[in-house]
Amino acid sequence: MTRVFDDTTRRKIAELCAGFARSSEDAAPALKRAAVAIALTEGEAGNGTAFLLTRRAPGLRSHTGQWALPGGRCDAGETQAQAALRELHEELGLELAQTEVLGVLDDYPTRSGYLITPVVVWAGSGVSIVPNPSEVASVHRVGLEEIEREDAFSFTSIPESTRRVIRFRLRGGHIHAPTAALIYQFSELLAGRQTRVAELEQPVFAWR
């Protein structure tokens, strides 16, 4: 189902975010705080509502070429929402106000030592996206219908862990956790479900 990109969709998603009860589990203090943006905008050719997904630039120190939501480490004194908005501006040239934040989902602890907070933001229509080439190789609009398909997500196992590995199937390939786990929780939110994802595993190549 394609979700029309309009005020009604914004209001419905904002209401779902307002009703979301973030997990109160205590995180390991050694983890570094980070935030990513689930930035909602118009789909390709103005078709429905989409979120922005990037491929990381080849010159980055880690996880080069991987799919990622816009985001990064929180600066000292920043809230997760402030960090997500700053990273959107630094990576994609989008300058959004705090009033465009619709909600915050659960923190996700990564094997590489970060605690990632997904922040849902409304990026608006007709926005000009200018990727920063030092951080972003490409940027893509993924329609919400892509994450609401019954077969969008799958789970597998690896010998290195007893936890399930989550995968998001997109355009003939797979996106893995942490990005897949964050998108999965958002898809569950859209379906009216509050599903925890902290225990979903990442593939071994993402552990570093």
CATH number at residue 71: 3.90.79.10
Q: Determine, yes or no, domain membership for 194.
A: no
Residue 187 maps to a domain: no
Positive or negative: CA dihedral 171, 101, 66, 89: positive
**Residue 144 domain-assigned (yes or no):** yes
* pLDDT value at residue 141: 95
**Integer distance in angstroms from the first to the last C-alpha of the chain?**
37
* Distance (Å, whole) CA 50 – CA 40: 6
Tell me whether residue 71 is in a domain. Answer: yes
Tens of pLDDT, residue by residue over 18-55, are: 999 998 666 567 899 999 999 999 998 778 999 999 98
Looking at the 3D structure of the chain, how many domains does it have? 1
Task: Give the domain range for residue 69.
Answer: 7-148
Q: Tell whether 81 is covered by a domain.
A: yes
Q: Does residue 177 sit within a domain?
A: no
Which tens digit of pLDDT belongs to each residue from 109-147? Answer: 999 899 999 999 999 887 889 999 888 999 999 999 999
Is residue 162 within 8 A of residue 67, CB to CB? The reply is no
Structural domain contains residue 131: yes
Residue matched to tokens 């893995």: 176
pLDDT in tens, 164-178: 999 999 988 899 999
